Amino acid sequence: MERKVVVTGMGVISPVGNDVQTYWSNLVNGVCGIVPINEYGELGLNVHVGGTVKDFQPEAYGIEKPFVRKQDKFTIYAVAAAQQAMAQSGLVSGENIDPMRLGVYVGSGIGGYGTIVAECEKSVKEGLRWISPNYVSTMISNIAGANVAIRYNACGPCLDTVSACASGTNAIGEAYRAIRHGYSDAIITGGAEAALVPMAAASFAASRALTKEPDPLRASIPFNANRGGFVLGEGAGILVLEEYEHAKARGAEILAFVSGYGHSCDAHHVTAPNPTGMTQAAAIRQALDEAGYNSDDKLHINAHGTGTPLNDKCETLAFKLALGEDAKKAHICSTKSMTGHLLGAAGAIEAIAAILALKEGIVPPTIGLDEPDPECDLDYTPNNAVKTDLTIAISDSLGFGGHNACVAFRKA
- Secondary element (H or E) of residue 290: helix 278-290
Which one from 263, 304, 331, 403 is the annotated catalytic residue? 304
Kindly report the backbone phi and psi dihedral angles of residue 343, in degrees, each rounded to the nearest multiple of 5, phi listed first. 55, -120
Give buried/exposed letters for 39-59 (b at 16+ CB in 10 A, else e).
ebeeeebebbbbbbbeebebe
* Cα torsion 66, 164, 256, 251: sign: negative
How far is residue 76's CA from residue 74's CA, in Å, rounded to a whole number?
6
Which one from 341, 376, 403, 406 is the annotated catalytic residue? 341
Q: In the annotation, is 341 catalytic? A: yes
Residues 6+ apart with CB under 8 A from 383: 30, 365, 366, 367, 368, 369, 370
Which one from 158, 165, 376, 406 is the annotated catalytic residue? 165
How far is residue 157's CA from residue 145's CA, in Å, rounded to a whole number?
11
Residue (of 404, 400, 407) closest to 189 by Cα position? 407
Q: In the annotation, is 263 catalytic? A: no
SS3 81: helix
Q: In the annotation, is 304 catalytic? A: yes
How far is residue 355's CA from residue 393's CA, in Å, rounded to a whole number?
7
Name the residue type at position 202. A
Residues 6+ apart with CB under 8 A from 72: 111, 112, 113, 114, 115, 138, 139, 143, 194
- Among all residues, which ones are annotated catalytic? 165, 304, 341
